[in-house]
Amino acid sequence: MKPAPFEYVRPDSLEETCALLAADDDARIIAGGQTLVPMLAMRLARPTRLVDILRLRELNGIREDGGAIVIGAATRQADAEGHSLVAARLPLLAKVLPWVGHPPTRNRGTVGGSIAHADPSAEIPLVSVTLGAEIVLRSEAGVEAMSADEFFIGPMVTAIPMGACLTEVRLPVWTAKRVGVGFHEISARRSDFAFVSAAAQVALDTAGTCTQCAIGVGGAGDRPVRFDGASAALVGTKLSNKDIEDAVNMDIGQLETMSDLHASADYRRRVAAVLACRAVGDARDSALGLSS
């Protein structure tokens, strides 16, 4: 199939982008196009206008600002994967990025595009929710920021207001000296869409006691979720395997899972528990210097 007819516009500024979006409710933003272009070809998306933001300088780049790493929405995933700030200050994102799609798609796909598309199985939204990232939006009305928890509403549905453009994501930096991360996912083939995934980041003090913990699960339900109860329960423990299993079981019963042609809801719940435990265990070992 071929896409339905549309107008293509490449604005010169963010202000012009916002004006174009405000003038047409059926306009869609395109940057890398790794998700939108197939949807256009299958006519699952029929915008009247495509607004190309890839070349807007204000939406590109990675910087540190006020205890967060700020990634521009149009920053290519491959650029983030190889960036020194991401490697040094965002270890969880650095670990997860090689699992996002395949090298050719990461060379075209953007960080903001993955977040805005809101696929429940996507890895970048999972990291955003797990770390409590802030999503920044711009419209003709001004700038608005919201937490990743608020931003993701359902499968490929977000809280982006009509006429707004996602401009950047702010991911908090953990200042502890001993930080470890873990990530696991189950898919038909490596880098394909995950049936279930789990991410974890922990901080330990000099005695090996957990001082900070973040756990997230993706792919199991209609959006990525953070296990706040389990994370809080693990603070103050040595992160023994039993500690981890008991904590994860506190939240796994509340996880709303879905069934589809790939996996049943029950399977996803069981796998989510196993992967979450593995991710936290790997994060613990990483913080202790027992694994990379």
Predicted confidence (pLDDT) at residue 278 exceeds the cutoff of 70: yes
> What is the CATH topology of the domain spanning 183-287?
Enolase-like; domain 1 (3.30.390)
Predicted confidence (pLDDT) at residue 36 exceeds the cutoff of 90: no
Percent of the chain with pLDDT over 90: 82
- Signed CA dihedral, 229, 233, 238, 240: sign only: negative
Give CATH 3.30.390.50 domain extents, the chain.
183-287
pTM for this model (two decimals): 0.94
Q: Where are the alpha helices (DSSP H) in the chain?
A: 14-23, 36-41, 77-81, 84-89, 91-96, 103-108, 111-117, 123-131, 148-151, 228-234, 241-252, 265-287
Q: Please give the pLDDT value at position 64.
A: 96
Q: Please give the pLDDT value at position 261.
A: 85
Q: Please give the pLDDT value at position 292.
A: 59
pLDDT-derived band at 6 (thresholds 50, 70, 90) equals: confident
Predicted confidence (pLDDT) at residue 43 exceeds the cutoff of 90: no
Q: Residue 4's closest CA among 35, 45, 54, 56?
A: 45
pLDDT-derived band at 38 (thresholds 50, 70, 90) equals: confident
Q: Please give the pLDDT value at position 63.
A: 97
Kindly give, in sequence order, each residue whose CB lies less than 8 Å from that of residue 48, ignoring residues fewer than 6 positions away: 6, 7, 24, 26, 27
Q: How far apart are CA 223 and CA 154, in angstroms?
A: 5
Give CATH 3.30.43 domain extents, the chain.
7-51
pLDDT-derived band at 4 (thresholds 50, 70, 90) equals: confident
Q: Residue 54's closest CA among 107, 90, 125, 127?
A: 107
- The distance of Cα 138 from the centroid of its chain, to the nearest Å, equals 19
CATH of domain 58-172: 3.30.465.10
Give CATH 3.30.465.10 domain extents, the chain.
58-172
> What is the rounded radius of gyration, in angstroms, for the C-alpha atoms of the chain?
19
Q: ∠67-68-73 over CA atoms, to 5°?
A: 160
pLDDT-derived band at 211 (thresholds 50, 70, 90) equals: very high
Q: Please give the pLDDT value at position 1.
A: 62
The predicted model gives 15-26 an average pLDDT of 92
* Dihedral angle over CA of 78, 79, 83, 85, nearest 10: -110
Q: Residue 262's closest CA among 198, 192, 215?
A: 192
Residue type, 276: A
Here the tokens at position 229 are 């109860």
DSSP lists the bridge partners of residue 181 as: 201
CB 121 within 8 A of CB 219: yes
CB 249 within 8 A of CB 182: no
Q: How far apart are CA 70 and CA 149, in angstroms?
A: 18
Mean predicted lDDT score pLDDT of the chain? 94
The predicted model gives 160-166 an average pLDDT of 93
CATH of domain 7-51: 3.30.43
Percent of the chain with pLDDT over 70: 99
- Signed CA dihedral, 134, 97, 126, 53: sign only: positive
DSSP lists the bridge partners of residue 178 as: 204
Here the tokens at position 45 are 């998306």
Predicted confidence (pLDDT) at residue 108 exceeds the cutoff of 90: yes
Say which residue, 68 or 66, is predicted with more confidence: 68
Rounded to 5 degrees, φ, ψ at 162 are -60, 130
Q: How far apart are CA 221 and CA 254, in angstroms?
A: 11
